[in-house]
Structure 1
Amino acid sequence: MRTFGIDGLTTHFQPVVDIDTGRVVAHEALSRPFVNGAPLAPDRLLHDAYERGEADELDSYFIEAALRAAAARGLLSPHSLFVNVEPISLVNGFITAPLLSAPPLVIEITERALTADPGALLTAAAALRAAGHLIAIDDLGAEPASLALLPLLAPEIVKLDMDLIRRQPDRTAATMMTALASYAERSGALVLAEGVETAEHITRARALGASVAQGWHFGKPSETAHDAPGVSVRRSGQGRHSEMRAVDPIEITPFGVVSATTALRTGDRAMLVQVSILLEERAAAAGDSAVLLSTFQAEDNISENTRLRYERLIESGCLLTAYSTGASAALPHPARSVTVDDDDPLAAEWDVVLLTADYAAALTAREIDTSRHREGLYEFALTTDRDLVVRSARALLSR
């Protein structure tokens, strides 16, 4: 009897190797479905499952098969097995039961999940970490905005898109190297290079900050494990990377985050509008590597001029989310419009939170006296402290 239109699947394992020592420190589980004895591309099968609304179930089927195969080969030492999870499963809040009861794994999430629904992804990642797993972002570099979103998810492992390893160095690679160096230095994350096939690729991987790698240079995927690693991929990085600090809990609002450590000032509405526009211009200049999150208190605060500015931001490629009470801001796709409850503390705030690969800023304000709304006086704080900005963004994306 066929399941998902296939006769079955095998699981292959590709080694993850410490670049300096050549030692196998982990394996990635790769599903290989087949029909009538012939292989079927997993991507094609997943595409069909998405069309039928069965992606969650197929993902669970792949994961359970991978865990069984890994157990049979002695590959379930803590944090020594990489398992892929489809973004739709996480966005839908579906985490297969075997993952929650499995030994500590490295859960691979493609970077497109970061831009699809960041809030849902943060919730899913918290559940996976609570089960003892590490989070790895796969194919980093394919989506420009993912660099700005990286510190929000705070993955313990970053897997570089193989195109970065294989192509000639350019401005994109330089931007990636700078952003990754900053992130790894702050977080202690491990950088893993994929698609390594030559000595030149190893040199480039090192230049991009990678200390572990996988690819045909080290070993092709096979049903037989190359080695049963006695160390985890995390321990492989010790001595070169600090331990990943715990992800900060999601605070209630950006104003609560920033005002706790930043002196408040007083300003009028006109001043805050100009600061907001300045941050919007910075986002537009960064284009598709920028993430901008804005709150508008009431929906009617989104003037026609504001809407036009935001439409131009969307055209620039900026990843944009607007929060307001009442009716949705109804910004054009792919911007997200989030409705905030009237009793949510966020409803009283004016926030503009900007993250790019190399810049971060947050403006957060509250009206001093709502009964004197015409005066438009606010207490506000402006920060470029990346940690505060990231925490402010998490507070917004939790909604």
Structure 2
Amino acid sequence: MQTLGFDRLVTNFQPVVDIDSGIVVAYEALSRAFFDDSPVPPDRLLRDAYRDDTAAELDSAFLDSALRAIETQGLESPHSVFVNVEPASLAHGRVPQALIGAPPLVVEITERALTTDPGSLLAAAATLRAAGHLIAIDDLGAEPASLALLPLLAPEIVKLDMNLIRRQPDRMAAMTMTAIAGYAERSGAIILAEGVETPAHITRARAFGASLAQGWHYGKAAATTDEAPGVTRLRPARGRHALDVVDEPGGTTPFEVVAGAAPVKLGDRALLLQVSAFLEERAGAGGDSAVLLATFQAEDNITPATRIRYEALVGSGCLLTAYSTRASAGLPHPARSVVVADDDPLAAEWDVILLTADYAAALTAREIDPTRHREGLYEFALTTDRALVRRCARALLSR
């Protein structure tokens, strides 16, 4: 372990409490590193690990320590412990092997994982759920674009970034509050406030819809647990949760998804270009909570003018991904380019999928006859149904 910057790990447990009753309903496993009996700052450990490409190895050591402590404490009732998993451990859709076969836990994923590689994260989350774990998104509100991606991951538990309940409210706080309220109302997800230290923090946490909390007001992390968790409440409040969209029937491309549920119409290229431009403008208006996914039948359809528009969108904080049959050169950082196989049905589509914290739309089209390209006629469908748009986004992010 010394190669990772420490020679000892200690796992403590901080209580997660029901705000109304004060009953402990779970614990969060928090591991801390030491070198020569001196604590090693976790931020420094993580920074160095990502720099040295050892973040997954570091995360594995922390997770092993947490699982051993969970077993020692007898905290094996379903979903009675939260554990943290780093984005590096979920790359390419994989999950830490230690979690396969472990007692059912609540797996916390930081929201930076949500914006770094959402497709891989969705695949990893499906594997974790199949193993019996619940998903919690951690620090929600620190990365605005994660608000639009929230219904795609569909976490059972949303953990508020502590700054939301500690700092003076601002526009970002209002946007986050609105997005969380809408998501919780549709899904029944549980809201948890962390970093609670004062009665004023509790009041703010309640305003954000939190029913659970953790922080020094309720207890610091300790090596042993004072009481067993009460009857678990870590389940969606409604019978059908937003994560059920994972198993919803539908097509494998946006056009197949929307065409099965919305009217398919005939339109010309000039009209669809204007609709595409309008959705890009809406993405810009959505600012740093916007997610835009666009497909181009070929890379050369991404014109210089398109790149200029995309540069402005990325500059506003929009999370942008372009799909085409060849790698798209010259896209502004950090926009992502995904290559689509020539025989993939997606290669024949023109799609613009937009998700923001409070708006959703999908334009999807197929050319009537590519051999008569000059005529520019397309069959297309347009929807602002958030559930359909979410399924379109999943169809793209799964690639």
CA contact (8 A) 2:307 2:332 kept: no
| SS of residue paired to 1:229 | coil
Which letter does structure 1 place at the counterpart of 2:215?
G
1:242 Cα deviation after fit: 4.9
Between the aligned partners of 2:327 and 2:357, the Cα distance in structure 1 is 32
Between the aligned partners of 1:307 and 1:11, the Cα distance in structure 2 is 48
Q: Deviations over 1:169-202 (max 9, x none)?
A: 2322221111111101111111100111111111
CA contact (8 A) 1:91 1:120 kept: yes
| SS of residue paired to 1:136 | strand
Residue 378 of structure 2 corresponds to 378
Residue 254 of structure 1 corresponds to 254
Residue 77 of structure 1 corresponds to 77
Q: Deviations over 1:64-104 (max 9, x none)?
A: 11011011112121011100000111124442221111011
1:316 Cα deviation after fit: 1.7
Which letter does structure 2 place at the counterpart of 1:183?
Y
CA contact (8 A) 1:16 1:213 kept: yes
Residue 281 of structure 2 corresponds to 281
1:231 Cα deviation after fit: 2.4
Q: Deviations over 1:221-256 (max 9, x none)?
A: 111113211422415x75xx5553524248411111
CA contact (8 A) 2:90 2:96 kept: no
Residue 205 of structure 2 corresponds to 205
Between the aligned partners of 2:28 and 2:50, the Cα distance in structure 1 is 23
CA contact (8 A) 2:310 2:332 kept: no
Q: Note the 1:173-212 alignment, pairs <5 A.
A: 173-212=173-212
CA contact (8 A) 1:59 1:89 kept: yes
Q: Note the 1:1-399 alignment, pairs <5 A.
A: 2=2, 4-235=4-235, 238=237, 242=239, 244-245=241-242, 246-249=244-247, 251-399=251-399
Which letter does structure 2 place at the counterpart of 1:156?
E
Q: Deviations over 1:255-284 (max 9, x none)?
A: 111111100111000000000000000111
| SS of residue paired to 1:332 | coil
1:329 Cα deviation after fit: 4.4
CA contact (8 A) 1:302 1:329 kept: no
Between the aligned partners of 1:348 and 1:113, the Cα distance in structure 2 is 30
Between the aligned partners of 2:239 and 2:198, the Cα distance in structure 1 is 29
Which letter does structure 2 place at the counterpart of 1:76?
E
Q: Deviations over 1:124-144 (max 9, x none)?
A: 111111111111000000001
| SS of residue paired to 2:234 | helix
Residues 73 and 319 of structure 1: is their aligned pair in 2 closer, same or farther, counting only changes over 3 Å? same
Between the aligned partners of 1:367 and 1:199, the Cα distance in structure 2 is 60
Between the aligned partners of 2:239 and 2:207, the Cα distance in structure 1 is 19
Which letter does structure 1 place at the counterpart of 2:98?
P
CA contact (8 A) 1:32 1:39 kept: yes
RMSD (Å), alpha carbons: 1.5
CA contact (8 A) 2:245 2:391 kept: no
Between the aligned partners of 1:79 and 1:28, the Cα distance in structure 2 is 10
Residues 243 and 230 of structure 1: is their aligned pair in 2 closer, same or farther, counting only changes over 3 Å? farther
Which letter does structure 1 place at the counterpart of 2:101?
S
Which letter does structure 2 place at the counterpart of 1:355?
L
CA contact (8 A) 1:15 1:221 kept: yes
Between the aligned partners of 2:15 and 2:97, the Cα distance in structure 1 is 26
CA contact (8 A) 1:80 1:231 kept: no
Aligned residues: 396
Between the aligned partners of 2:301 and 2:172, the Cα distance in structure 1 is 37
Which letter does structure 2 place at the counterpart of 1:382?
L
Between the aligned partners of 2:75 and 2:4, the Cα distance in structure 1 is 27
CA contact (8 A) 1:179 1:358 kept: yes
Between the aligned partners of 2:147 and 2:124, the Cα distance in structure 1 is 20
Between the aligned partners of 1:356 and 1:234, the Cα distance in structure 2 is 27
Segments of structure 1 that go 5 or more residues without pairing to the other structure are: none
| SS of residue paired to 1:175 | helix
CA contact (8 A) 1:324 1:340 kept: yes
Q: Deviations over 1:270-321 (max 9, x none)?
A: 0000000000001111111111000011111112222221122122221111
Which letter does structure 2 place at the counterpart of 1:248?
V
Residues 96 and 279 of structure 1: is their aligned pair in 2 closer, same or farther, counting only changes over 3 Å? same
Between the aligned partners of 1:338 and 1:357, the Cα distance in structure 2 is 24
| SS of residue paired to 2:358 | coil
Which letter does structure 1 place at the counterpart of 2:184?
A
What is the TM-score of this pair, normalised by structure 1?
A: 0.96
Which letter does structure 2 place at the counterpart of 1:367?
E
Segments of structure 2 that go 5 or more residues without pairing to the other structure are: none
1:2 Cα deviation after fit: 4.0
Between the aligned partners of 1:170 and 1:45, the Cα distance in structure 2 is 32
